[in-house]
């Protein structure tokens, strides 16, 4: 009598559970350099620099990579550096980006318009305190941490609910991605600050449950080659 065939349970590649949305959180490409004598223009009180040449090149490389994958929708924010980053991918896929205002960058109060970069470069005492305490709102007039956390979470849950069983490219900002990953993992607020320009972080959302499937993927960018371990 032949031996009964045993049941085998193999390991399988990860796939999102039914009904989940896969969000590709993409930081915008590199933006124009800050000039203390020429502040960035403001949109609703927030600095709105355009992409630098490097950022436009990064956006093209992003489109080369994701243009070969399934992407069902593209979201951007009210700030043009995200719109410009998404444009090559949107053109490649024939998709019209949707604006999600609540995924705009954290509001930096009196340090908007490029002042933040200048103060950090100068090792301003408030900047040191910001990174020590991991709170944006040590900056005068900046957005309260709780408010920022809530609007990011609500926006992501809203996008995920609108796209079950779909993959969505969300072109947003470094502070937003750091906050989203911190929320998903329960980490320190700044533990994932700051992702590289045009990096991809993968978030799977189902019924308010968030899972991180990747962080700061820059395999499509030229500087992503591994450095020698010497």
Rounded-to-integer distance, Cα 4 and Cα 19, Å: 37
225 part of a folded domain: no
Find the CATH number of the domain harbouring 46.
3.40.50.1240
Rounded-to-integer distance, Cα 15 and Cα 215, Å: 17
Range of the domain at 171: 21-107+143-217
91 part of a folded domain: yes
224 part of a folded domain: no
Note whether 184 and 156 are within 8 A (CB): no
Number of separate domains in the chain: 1
Chain segment 101-140, per-residue pLDDT in tens: 999 999 999 999 999 999 999 999 999 999 999 999 999 9
Rounded-to-integer distance, Cα 64 and Cα 41, Å: 30
pLDDT > 90 in the chain, percent: 89
Angle (CA) 34-39-40 rounded to 5° is: 80
226 part of a folded domain: no
230 part of a folded domain: no
95 part of a folded domain: yes
Q: How high does pLDDT run on average in the chain?
A: 94
Chain segment 45-95, per-residue pLDDT in tens: 999 999 999 999 999 999 999 999 999 999 999 999 999 999 999 999 999
The pTM (predicted TM-score) of the whole model is: 0.92
Chain segment 28-50, per-residue pLDDT in tens: 999 999 999 999 999 999 999 99
| 69: exposed, middle or buried (Cβ count in 10 Å: 0-12, 13-18, 19+) | exposed
Helix (H, G, I), strand (E, B) or coil at 212: strand
121-137 as b/e: b if 16+ CB within 10 A: eeebeebeebeeeebbb
- Listed in sequence order, the residues at least 6 apart from 192 whose beta carbon sits closer than 8 Å to its beta carbon are 177, 178, 181, 182, 185, 215, 216
């Amino acid at each position: 009598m032949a031996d009964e065939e045993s049941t085998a349970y193999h390991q399988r590649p990860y796939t999102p559970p039914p009904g989940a949305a896969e969000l590709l959180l993409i930081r915008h490409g590199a933006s124009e350099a800050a000039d203390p004598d020429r502040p960035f223009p403001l949109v609703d009180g927030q600095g709105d620099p355009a992409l630098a040449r490097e950022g436009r090149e990064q956006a093209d490389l992003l489109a080369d990579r994701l243009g070969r994958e399934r992407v069902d929708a593209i979201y951007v924010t009210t700030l043009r550096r995200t719109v410009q980053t998404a444009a090559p991918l949107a053109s490649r896929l024939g998709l019209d980006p949707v604006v999600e205002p609540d995924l705009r960058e954290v509001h930096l109060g009196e340090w908007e318009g490029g002042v933040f970069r200048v103060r950090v470069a100068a090792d301003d005492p408030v900047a040191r305190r910001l990174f020590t305490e991991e709170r944006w709102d040590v900056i005068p007039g900046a957005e309260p941490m709780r408010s920022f956390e809530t609007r990011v979470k609500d926006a992501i849950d809203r996008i995920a609910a609108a796209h079950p069983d779909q993959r969505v490219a969300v072109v947003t900002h470094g502070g937003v991605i750091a906050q989203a990953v911190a929320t998903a993992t329960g980490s320190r607020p700044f533990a994932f600050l700051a992702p590289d320009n045009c990096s991809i972080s993968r978030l799977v959302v189902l019924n308010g449950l968030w899972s991180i499937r990747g962080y700061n993927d820059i395999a499509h960018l030229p500087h992503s080659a591994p450095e020698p371990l010497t």
